[in-house]
């Protein structure tokens, strides 16, 4: 029997082992209906394993996972009809066209009312309906994958690394589609290692590292709680400016482009630094002051930087 | 089982098939080419007329009559070689594998034998041949048979020992009629085994199977649609092979329900084997290599291209553990000798093998976690 609940997903003390390897270590979280929830972590952190357990593809070692009130270990057949999945690096039958691919997946769900044209329009593939899958670029394949994930009008949509390997333009196009899903009120479970993506799309973010959830909240709150400071960036600054900044008690961080970043606790500190540089007789070409982003929060919490996996790169438009 | 899902898979598989010209070639055209090539080679051998170069050094009416008689046997097309030419050099230069030399004094010796009834009078015809040439032995055997016949006629007495051929088959069959069932069995095996291995391993590796595992498709739907697809291709390929065989070689084969039974069992057995290989090997390349390793011994040792009886005894025993042997023999029993009892026997053996392998294939195939 299906339990009525406000949560689309409930994960309780989930653990997954592969022999000696502990891939997911006793994690718990919930995802509300209509929420866009992002799972953030580096490659190998346990994101895909967790999402595949919820999608019923993988078995769990211990714990309890419910999807729309149904136990994922017992109700696979009922669950798959109510979810849509975009797996990491979506692939399909090479010689089947865009339209045929959507029709095929629609038939697998025995959906008679799938609005194939509507889905094609949603992912902006109208010009490509007769193209075979093998001829599509990476970005177009991902967009088709999203359309396929929606053929059964699912209540929960899982998107595993939907923009990995795409160029910035293709990535933004996919984001447009995801924002459309959000507007439609779908529950979206997104796994990503792109901070910008999580920050832009997610209502809540869970940061996972080494199989453990180490922080979970809205992007704004995560930043507020974990990075209550400002970052002053001075562009094309003279080298001796570092010495001056150190003298007034701040630690400058150099990047590869003669820029200096300084972490500041108070707004008054900005003026203090700028005055010191002016008095020291050094110059710079520009500056900006901003709040830290999720990337800095992630760095602070995990000690790891997020970067794109070159192996995951695919062609883009 | 969901019929909608099975049909959807079938449609995708068939579309993928006919849109890939390379696959169409290897599945349909390749077996046909094999039939045409081997059929042509062995068709000619059945009624082969050999080229024979003859050098008549005697240049008499009798020697000319001998050359004419050899020609009249219907087994040779004669080319005369000038007496002045060095026959061995001629054979080398013109790439002839056999030159027959009638010596000087042929007519004289003949007169001694016929006129004076001298039993010691004889003549030796020299056969200059290239032993490295394929088929020269057969050509020399045929020539010697013709010469023996001429000798017999010249003796003026009918032969004492005669032979009469009685075939165990109801009709006289040619090599091509034995060959076509073997090629059908082999083509169905190859396409089923490689079809199952390549398609499944590729889809597994590309993550399509993983995506499918998040849809309502079941393992039974997937496997059934795979088998149906391979069966449709096998029937199509068999029809094309038979049409070509009838059209080009005018084969005389019996088409009955056994043909469909053996094609279906061939498909089930080798799709099952393919599924096991895909599951065991995991990587597409290693699965294909494993399929090759299984397929080649079967192609050459199961009696597809030549009869098992031609092989050494230990290989004959080995042939009988190969599943393709039973499809080959079963198809020949039904299409050539029309022996229903034998066909049933062979069908039972391959049927048991197919059932075991297919069930095993279903048991170890999975669309979920372990498929990754």
Identify the domain boundary among A191, A218, A245: A218
pLDDT at B47: 65
pLDDT at A19: 87
Contact between A108 and B211 using a beta-carbon 8 Å cutoff? no
pLDDT at A311: 37
Provide φ and ψ at B356, rounded to 5°.
-60, -50
Give B209 to chain A, closest Cα distance, Å. 9
Contact between A108 and B215 using a beta-carbon 8 Å cutoff? yes
Whether A1 is covered by a domain: the verdict is no
CB-CB contact of A133 with B20 (8 Å): no
* Set of chain B residues whose Cβ sits within 8 Å of the Cβ of A92: 208, 211
Q: Are residues A195 and A237 in the same domain?
A: no
Whether A4 shows a pLDDT value over 70: the answer reads no
Whether B132 shows a pLDDT value over 70: the answer reads yes
Task: Spell out the alpha helix ranges (H) of B61-206.
Answer: 61-72, 87-93, 106-115, 136-155, 175-206
Whether B269 shows a pLDDT value over 60: the answer reads yes
Whether B1 shows a pLDDT value over 80: the answer reads no
Whether B300 shows a pLDDT value over 60: the answer reads yes
CB-CB contact of B101 with B57 (8 Å): yes
Q: Are residues A103 and A245 in the same domain?
A: no
- Rounded to whole angstroms, the Cα distance separating B43 from B36 reads 10
- Rounded to whole angstroms, the Cα distance separating A14 from A6 reads 20
pLDDT at B154: 82
CA atoms within a 13 Å half-sphere pointing along the CA-CB vector of A181: 33
Q: How is domain B49-155 classified at the CATH fold level? A: abc type-2 transporter like fold (3.40.1710)
- Smallest Cβ–Cβ distance between A90 and the set B203, B211, B368 belongs to B211
The complex scores an ipTM of 0.78
Whether B259 shows a pLDDT value over 90: the answer reads yes
Q: Are residues A204 and A286 in the same domain?
A: no
* Set of chain A residues whose Cβ sits within 8 Å of the Cβ of B216: 77, 80-81, 108-110
Q: What is the mean pLDDT of residues A158-168?
A: 83
- Rounded to whole angstroms, the Cα distance separating B232 from B253 reads 22
Whether A223 is covered by a domain: the verdict is no
Kindly report, residue by residue over A207-246, the tens digit of the pLDDT. Answer: 998 899 999 999 888 888 887 788 888 887 887 888 888 8
Whether A240 is covered by a domain: the verdict is yes
Number of domains in chain A: 2
What is the CA angle B159-B160-B163, rounded to 5? 85
Say what angle helices A294-302 and A219-226 make with each other, to 10 degrees: 60
- Smallest Cβ–Cβ distance between A91 and the set B15, B20, B207 belongs to B207
pLDDT at A144: 93
Whether A29 is covered by a domain: the verdict is yes
Q: Are residues A175 and A244 in the same domain?
A: no
* Set of chain B residues whose Cβ sits within 8 Å of the Cβ of A60: none
pLDDT at A151: 93
- Smallest Cβ–Cβ distance between A57 and the set B208, B213, B217 belongs to B213
Strands A260-264 and A252-254 turn out to be antiparallel
Where does residue A296 rank: exposed (0-12), middle (13-18), buried (19+ CB within 10 A)? Answer: middle
Kindly report, residue by residue over B345-355, the tens digit of the pLDDT. Answer: 999 999 999 99
Whether B201 shows a pLDDT value over 60: the answer reads yes
Whether A313 is covered by a domain: the verdict is no
Contact between A87 and B211 using a beta-carbon 8 Å cutoff? yes
Nearest chain B alpha carbon to A88 = B207
Contact between A85 and B4 using a beta-carbon 8 Å cutoff? no
pLDDT at B298: 86
* Set of chain B residues whose Cβ sits within 8 Å of the Cβ of A110: 2, 4-5, 216
Q: Are residues A162 and A275 in the same domain?
A: no
Contact between A107 and B4 using a beta-carbon 8 Å cutoff? yes
Whether B370 shows a pLDDT value over 70: the answer reads no
Name A212's Cβ contacts closer than 8 Å, sequence gap at least 6: A25, A26, A27, A46
Report the CATH number at residue A63: 3.40.50.300
* Set of chain B residues whose Cβ sits within 8 Å of the Cβ of A94: 16
For residue B101, which of B146, B49, B59, B134 has the smallest C-alpha distance?
B59
pLDDT at A310: 38
CB-CB contact of A238 with A57 (8 Å): no
Confidence grade of residue B159 (pLDDT, cut at 50, 70, 90) = confident
For residue B215, which of A236, A109, A290, A156 has the smallest C-alpha distance?
A109
Whether A135 is covered by a domain: the verdict is yes
Q: Could you tell me which residue, B298 or B15, shows the higher pLDDT?
A: B15
Identify the domain boundary among A218, A251, A280: A218
Whether A157 is covered by a domain: the verdict is yes
Kindly report, residue by residue over B162-186, the tens digit of the pLDDT. Answer: 888 776 666 667 788 888 999 999 9
A-interface mutation test, from B10, B21, B24, B213, most A Cβ less than 10 A away: B213
Q: What is the mean pLDDT of residues B249-270?
A: 92
| pLDDT over 90 percentage in chain A | 38
Q: Which two tokens stand for residue A255?
A: 């990047």
pLDDT at B290: 83
Confidence grade of residue B368 (pLDDT, cut at 50, 70, 90) = low
Q: Are residues A192 and A262 in the same domain?
A: no
Q: Are residues A193 and A246 in the same domain?
A: no
Which residues of B touch chain A, with CB atoms under 8 Å apart?
2, 4-5, 7-8, 11-12, 15-16, 19-20, 203, 206-208, 210-217, 368-369, 372
- Containing domain of residue A192, as a range? 7-218
- Smallest Cβ–Cβ distance between B369 and the set A57, A81, A95 belongs to A57
Q: Are residues A51 and A190 in the same domain?
A: yes
- Rounded to whole angstroms, the Cα distance separating B323 from A120 reads 48
Domain limits, chain B: 3-43+170-371, 49-155
Report the CATH number at residue A235: 3.30.70.980
pLDDT at A256: 67
Whether A295 shows a pLDDT value over 90: the answer reads no
Kindly report, residue by residue over B18-52, the tens digit of the pLDDT. Answer: 999 888 888 888 889 988 888 887 766 656 788 99
pLDDT at B114: 79
Q: Which residues sit opposite B81 in a β-bridge?
A: B55
Kindly report, residue by residue over B80-125, the tens digit of the pLDDT. Answer: 999 999 999 999 999 899 999 999 999 998 888 877 777 788 899 9
Whether A109 is covered by a domain: the verdict is yes
Q: Are residues A208 and A270 in the same domain?
A: no
């Amino acid at each position: 029997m299906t339990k009525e609940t406000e949560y689309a997903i409930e994960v309780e003390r989930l653990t997954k082992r592969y022999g000696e390897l502990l891939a997911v270590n006793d994690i718990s979280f919930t995802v509300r209906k209509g929420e866009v929830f992002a799972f953030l972590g580096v490659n190998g952190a346990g994101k895909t394993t967790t999402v595949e357990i919820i999608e019923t593809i993988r078995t769990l070692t211990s714990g309890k996972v419910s999807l729309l009130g149904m136990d994922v270990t017992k109700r696979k057949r009922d669950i798959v009809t109510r979810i849509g999945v975009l797996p990491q690096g979506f692939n399909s039958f090479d010689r089947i066209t865009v339209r045929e691919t959507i029709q095929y997946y629609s038939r697998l769900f025995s959906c008679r009312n799938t609005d194939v044209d509507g889905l094609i329009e949603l992912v902006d593939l109208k010009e490509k309906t007769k193209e075979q899958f093998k001829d599509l670029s990476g970005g177009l394949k991902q967009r088709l994958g999203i359309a396929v994930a929606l053929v059964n009008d699912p209540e929960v949509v899982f998107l595993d690394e939907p923009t990995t390997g795409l160029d910035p333009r293709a990535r933004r196009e996919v984001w447009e589609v995801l924002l459309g899903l959000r507007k439609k009120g779908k529950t979206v479970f997104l796994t990503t290692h792109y901070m910008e993506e999580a920050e832009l799309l997610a209502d809540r973010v869970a940061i996972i590292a080494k199989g453990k959830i180490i922080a979970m909240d809205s992007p704004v709150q995560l930043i507020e709680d974990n990075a209550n400071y400002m970052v002053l960036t001075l562009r094309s600054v003279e080298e001796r400016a570092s010495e001056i900044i150190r003298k007034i008690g701040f630690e400058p961080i150099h990047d590869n482009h003669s820029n200096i970043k300084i972490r500041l606790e108070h707004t008054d500190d900005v003026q203090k630094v700028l005055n010191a540089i002016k008095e020291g007789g050094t110059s710079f070409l520009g500056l900006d002051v901003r709040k830290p982003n999720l990337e800095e929060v992630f760095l602070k919490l995990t000690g790891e930087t997020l970067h794109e996996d070159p192996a995951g790169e695919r062609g883009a438009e | 089982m969901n019929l909608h899902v099975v049909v959807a898979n079938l449609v995708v598989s068939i579309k993928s098939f006919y849109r890939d010209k390379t696959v169409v070639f290897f599945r349909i055209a390749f077996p046909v080419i094999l039939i045409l090539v081997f059929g042509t080679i062995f068709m000619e051998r059945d009624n082969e007329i050999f080229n024979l170069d003859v050098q008549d050094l005697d240049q008499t009416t009798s020697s000319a009559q001998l050359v004419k008689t050899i020609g009249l046997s219907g087994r040779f097309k004669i080319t005369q070689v000038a007496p002045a030419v060095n026959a061995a050099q001629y054979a080398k230069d013109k790439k002839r594998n056999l030159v027959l030399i009638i010596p000087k004094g042929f007519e004289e010796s003949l007169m001694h034998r016929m006129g004076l009834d001298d039993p010691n009078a004889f003549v030796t015809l020299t056969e200059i041949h290239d032993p490295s040439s394929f088929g020269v032995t057969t050509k020399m055997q045929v020539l010697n048979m013709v010469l023996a016949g001429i000798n017999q006629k010249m003796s003026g007495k009918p032969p004492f020992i005669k032979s009469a051929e009685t075939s165990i088959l109801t009709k006289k069959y040619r090599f091509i009629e034995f060959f076509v069932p073997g090629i059908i069995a082999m083509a169905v095996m190859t396409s089923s085994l490689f079809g199952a291995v390549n398609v499944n391993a590729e889809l597994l590796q590309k993550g399509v199977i993983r995506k499918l595992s998040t849809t309502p498709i079941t393992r039974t739907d997937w496997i059934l649609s795979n088998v149906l697809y391979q069966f449709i291709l096998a029937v199509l390929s068999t029809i094309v092979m038979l049409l070509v065989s009838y059209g080009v070689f005018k084969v005389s084969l019996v088409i009955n329900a056994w043909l469909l039974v053996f094609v279906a069992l061939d498909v089930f057995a080798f799709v099952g084997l393919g599924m096991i290989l895909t599951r065991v090997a995991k990587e597409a390349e290693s699965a294909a290599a494993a399929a090759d390793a299984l397929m080649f011994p079967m192609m050459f040792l199961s009696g597809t291209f030549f009869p098992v009886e031609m092989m050494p005894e230990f290989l004959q025993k080995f042939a009988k553990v190969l599943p393709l042997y039973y499809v080959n023999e079963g198809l020949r029993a039904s299409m050539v000798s029309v022996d229903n009892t034998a066909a049933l026997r062979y069908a039972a053996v391959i049927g048991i093998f197919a059932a075991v392998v297919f069930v095993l294939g279903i048991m170890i195939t999975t669309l979920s976690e372990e498929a990754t």
